[in-house]
Chain A
């Protein structure tokens, strides 16, 4: 009887080390998450409410804060639709068609991800800043791009360009070309095919890209910082205003404004999870 001599582990013996490993790994993961995410977020709120709720509210509805919010929203309002339209067009072309220069276009879309946002901002300063040929001309006719909102919108648009395009490309590629071909053969023209077939079948992927693009646009710091000039009440977005307040030693006000960005992040995360579920269901 061989089995008498070979010690066959009982079920409990096999299970216990696995359970231990699972618990240990979970603790490590949660601990890491706690240190890099939960503690800083809690710190933001603790600092923000340090001087009481009223101080918090005052900091948030202060004229400069409101102006920073307006500018942030304004830039997002310009950038997100523009990037959505461009991202859709580029994504549709790349995802559904074969053409010369396709690889080049794909690489161009990837550039903003590869370049540091500060460098992106610098590029705009060099290209259309007051000392450039174009910038001088524009200034001459009274149009200020750098150190004003148009430059900030441009820098934000550049930094966030790929977010929609990337999602759209992935979605367009996964849905394949069958449906478009079916629509074409059924007599639809390009326009009808796009609006009735391509766009609806990637709608959740598109929304996902828009959410990411928006979050990035509202939270952008580096690129915008270079082109803004930090004029209080004029060219400060929320992230820049947080820095301004901090530099002024107004720590609790600074964290109060930062907490608004945390809220934005939370809303983004929730929206992201909901959309991800939709994508899973529909594919």
Chain B
């Protein structure tokens, strides 16, 4: 039992929002579509919801082809970045909406809405207007509304995009919690790495209308498939690769660079300390290589104290892990 898109393509004028995208999502899984703005992730989500029609390709829900099924009949729950709550209705009526338009009896609606409001911890807010709630609370109402009619798949479009960092963090933990309780298949669209890594079972990284890489967060972070993914997922250093037939460069993350006062065998190379930034869990050391190229290394406090690095010092850098990608990207 899976949710699947096959070879989806979608153009807006001359702009290809999706270019032959295929993705399979297992039941109960939480998948994040991660990518920069304009990469096609929202278009893919809207096609899943039935709000947008693909130019080519098919959509399958649990074995059935729903490519041409209208949004209302797909049984999806959708949460928008800007909540899209019905401002003229109370919180209760917002959550009840999906049940009311499906003509559920009142005896079913009232307990169901109460249960959902309890789940999103807004029991006392049933009679409030959405405008009386904070951003985080509104998004919880939106989630309760989406869950009310027991959707087959829950779609979240940048659900934390309009919230400040602290609320965002809280809501993330809490959303994962809800997912663990309900096990509803969930697709989360986000441009934020932390959202994706914190929440998702698997991350699908998109770029320019294509899927770059799909896999568990740890895997895509440790073993990026392309240079683009490597750069997108965090700070990157270009380091010289030894033993290559021609001068070549590989990629290493700042925390993958070891620093030392003494030279060791290649692949170690010399550099000069340009700046030290020690406020944080790791100490950030900016280094200058010959030819004006720069590197950033991150070392832990203990190591930093042993090295006692200061601006202008000479150090030797040895990367623990260097990735080399094919020239295709």
Chain A partners chain B: yes
Minimum CB distance partner of A184 in chain B: B71
Query: Is B77 an interface residue when CB atoms closer than 8 A count as contact?
Result: yes
The CA-CA distance from A181 to B51 in the complex, in Å, is: 7
Contact check: which of A178, A184, A185, A203 meets B82 at CB < 8 Å?
A178
The reply to whether A181 and B86 contact each other, CB–CB distance below 8 Å, is: no
The reply to whether B87 and A186 contact each other, CB–CB distance below 8 Å, is: no
28 A-B residue pairs with Cβ-Cβ distance under 8 Å, sorted by A, are A178-B80, A178-B84, A179-B85, A181-B78, A181-B80, A182-B78, A182-B80, A182-B86, A182-B145, A183-B97, A184-B70, A185-B50, A185-B51, A185-B76, A185-B78, A186-B98, A186-B145, A187-B73, A187-B101, A187-B102, A187-B149, A188-B101, A189-B101, A200-B86, A201-B86, A201-B87, A203-B88, A282-B87
Contact check: which of A181, A187, A189, A282 meets B98 at CB < 8 Å?
A187
Q: Name the interface residues of B97-117: CB closer than 8 Å to any CB of A.
A: 97-98, 101-102
Contact check: which of A179, A187, A201 meets B72 at CB < 8 Å?
A187
A-B pair number, CB within 8 angstroms:
65
> In the complex, which residues of chain B have a beta carbon less than 8 angstroms from the beta carbon of A282?
87-88
Chain B residues touching A, range:
20 to 34
> In the complex, which residues of chain A have a beta carbon less than 8 angstroms from the beta carbon of B77?
185
The CA-CA distance from A186 to B93 in the complex, in Å, is: 13
Given A178-B80, A183-B97, A196-B101: A188 and B72 interface contact (C-beta under 8 Å) = yes
B interface residues (Cβ-Cβ under 8 A, vs A): 49-51, 70-74, 76-78, 80, 82, 84-88, 97-98, 101-102, 145-146, 148-149
Given A179-B86, A196-B101, A201-B86: A184 and B72 interface contact (C-beta under 8 Å) = yes
Minimum CB distance partner of A189 in chain B: B72
How many of A's residues come within 8 Å of B, CB to CB?
A: 18
The reply to whether B72 and A185 contact each other, CB–CB distance below 8 Å, is: yes
Query: Is A174 an interface residue when CB atoms closer than 8 A count as contact?
Result: no
A interface residues (Cβ-Cβ under 8 A, vs B): 178-179, 181-189, 192, 196-197, 200-201, 203, 282
The CA-CA distance from A77 to B86 in the complex, in Å, is: 32
User: Which of the listed residues A181, A182, A183 has the most CB atoms from chain B within 10 Å of its own CB?
Assistant: A182
Minimum CB distance partner of A281 in chain B: B131
> In the complex, which residues of chain A have a beta carbon less than 8 angstroms from the beta carbon of B88?
200-201, 203, 282
> In the complex, which residues of chain B have a beta carbon less than 8 angstroms from the beta carbon of A203?
88
